[in-house]
Amino acid sequence: MRNGMIKIDDIIELHTNRETERLSFATRYLVQINFTFDLTVVSNGFSGTSHFCVRRDQIEKMCSDLTTMKQEMSGNTTLEDNDSDASVIFQMKSHGRVIVYGQVGGSHEENYLKFSFQTDQTCIEPLLTDFHKLLKNEEPTNLYEAIDLILWNDWDPIGINHIAPRDEYQGYTPTIFKLKTNGADSETIAMTLHNIETEIIGVVGNFDRCRQVADKVIKLK
């Protein structure tokens, strides 16, 4: 990380099962809540690549919309570039058909590509999984966010941080934040986490994991 930037080398690809139709997000870096991708599209004999910049909340909304589309077999969602009029749109049609269309590159540029192709609903789940993994890359800007991130990535008592909305455990962050700022020791934080697991969430609980998470919280500055 340098100058607040986290460099990420990861490629998220929409699996269309056709070599002639491809869409991918090559992740380049994260600055606070802003992701920069190289967006590449291959469609109907044409192809193009351009930078594509979006905020974390835009990706989270797209993932939420895609989950709903997959469940209800209808709907649409749009991911828009924050630096141009480029966009990627997913639209669920009848019989599980998914239309993917949009624009690579801004129309103010000398070259840009409008595209449209069809795939099916089987492409959605792998795409969601990859984007949820990507969202684990996060640069906390303060102690509260750092604790929230640890609960999401390391605690995750239900084991759903690869598929669930990012706010799944955020209701417990204030409790752990208060313990940390009041000088609680690792054992107290671990016992609190374990109590949340068993008494509030209703899972069996894993005290060893809670102790490891508590140790990470204690080490935060």
Res 152 pLDDT > 60: yes
Q: What is the homologous superfamily of the domain 5-134 according to CATH?
A: Transcriptional Coactivator Pc4; Chain A (2.30.31.10)
Nearest to 102 by CA among 137, 54, 134: 54
At residue 76 the predicted structure's pLDDT band, cuts being 50, 70 and 90, is very high
**Strand-strand pairing, 97-104 and 87-92:** antiparallel
- Give the percent of the chain with pLDDT over 90: 69
Sequence ranges of the domains in the chain = 5-134, 143-219
Q: Is the pLDDT of residue 142 over 60?
A: yes
Query: Could you read off the pLDDT of 84-117 as tens digits, one per residue?
Result: 999 999 999 999 999 999 999 999 888 999 999 9
Stronger pLDDT, 77 or 141, i.e. the higher one: 77
Q: Are 58 and 79 in contact (CB under 8 A)?
A: yes
Q: How far apart are CA 96 and CA 80, in angstroms?
A: 24
User: Chain-centre distance of CA 117, in angstroms?
Assistant: 24
Give the Cα separation of 134 and 54 in Å (integer): 13
Query: What's the rounded Cα separation, in Å, for the pair 97 and 132?
Result: 23
29 versus 212: the higher-pLDDT residue is 212
The predicted model scores a pTM of: 0.64
What's the pLDDT at 126?
93
| Residue bearing tokens 């709907």 | 75
Distance CA 156, CA 83 (A): 34
